[in-house]
Structure 1
Amino acid sequence: VLAGKEAVFATKVNEVKAKEVPALDDELAKDIDEEVETLDELKAKFRKELEDAKAEAYNDAVETAAIETAVANAEIKEIPEEMFHEEVHRAMNDFLGGMQQQGISPEMYFQITGTTEEQLHEQYQEDAGKRVRTNLVIEAIAKAENFETTDEEVKAEIADLAAQYNMPVEQVEKLLPVDMLQHDIAMKKAVEAITDSVKVK
């Protein structure tokens, strides 16, 4: 209705084009992924990635269940208060550091979420006890088994960290002392030992 009067608009459709769907062929496969040459290779790669993702999820689930069982069966009389607070602050710093890498400062994060540092502290307190107990059990197993680390394992750990954080190997070597790397490797071996002890039927 225009100015109280009805109006009729006529339109003419000149042409209707169907959306062209690219042909599923080798050329499309190469456009999608430069590392493959054929459609069959692309399909095989997708299948492998899916299988790897499933295997990783399964292994993570087994590892988590094994560690939770070990922690539940462990006799921990008391968690040191200092260790508890250190874990809370470590988790907070890791989280806020991750935000910082995305260009979000702590102040900006609290402003965006409408929360405070105290509230974040309380949030991480809820799980801190469980994480500390887990670390104590893994530490105890690593100490009891007296895992040793080789120079090759330390070098491999440095290379993995350098690739993960996109840093030169030399920079990682300067930032992380050898004894810290050896400790981390021993902890990983302890986790593997816990997981291997679980018999999955």
Structure 2
Amino acid sequence: MNAFRVLMIAAALSTSSSLAATYTVKSGDTLYSIARATRVDAPTLMKLNRLNSTTIQVGQRLNIGGSAAPVVNRPAAPQPQAAAAPSRGGVFVRSAANRWLGIRYVLGGTGGGGIDCSAFTMNVFRSLGINLPRTAAAQWRSGSPVSRRDLRAGDLVFFNTMGRTASHVGLYVGDGMMANANSYRGRTVVEPLFSNVYWASRYNGARRVLN
């Protein structure tokens, strides 16, 4: 989200009557841009507003929980487009992924007692209000293809580990790293993606389900 969008949302909050703890969705807003501007994480916004997904509508009034903090208006220095924040949902994806790290790997497991690769990604996105299919092969057919050079935090990354396409899935978290439920290590971990020979040689591609 660029600096102009932050200022627009901040201005909307500062001019709300008596700083009421609500925000009215405007054209171009996403749940993640609103969460960043209001400092209320996306999962909390979803709970406060009983949202079943991250889809929001222009004109929709969102409860942002408590009184909005006063906004100090300062002139913003012009910023080039390249300086805009990378992924709108990257911060929230990494936060959600952290909640599932260190859990024991169990083939077919879907909960806190044990989890496999596709259940890991499914649970991370479920906490963001996005429903993914249960298997890695089905997740491979979700979203839109992303080239290796355009990867950003929140993209699903797929590997051929069993002689077939997309037999393993992980979650790209930025800086050349991915989070995944790793059967060899026996738990969910964050590890290098392309600097790891094993993963680099088995990489199939990526899909983007978080825009």
Which structure has more strand as a fraction of its residues?
2
Give the TM-score range, shorter chain.
under 0.3
TM-score of the aligned structures, taking structure 1 as reference length: 0.21
- Answer with 1 or 2: which has the greater Rg: 1
TM-score of the aligned structures, taking structure 2 as reference length: 0.20
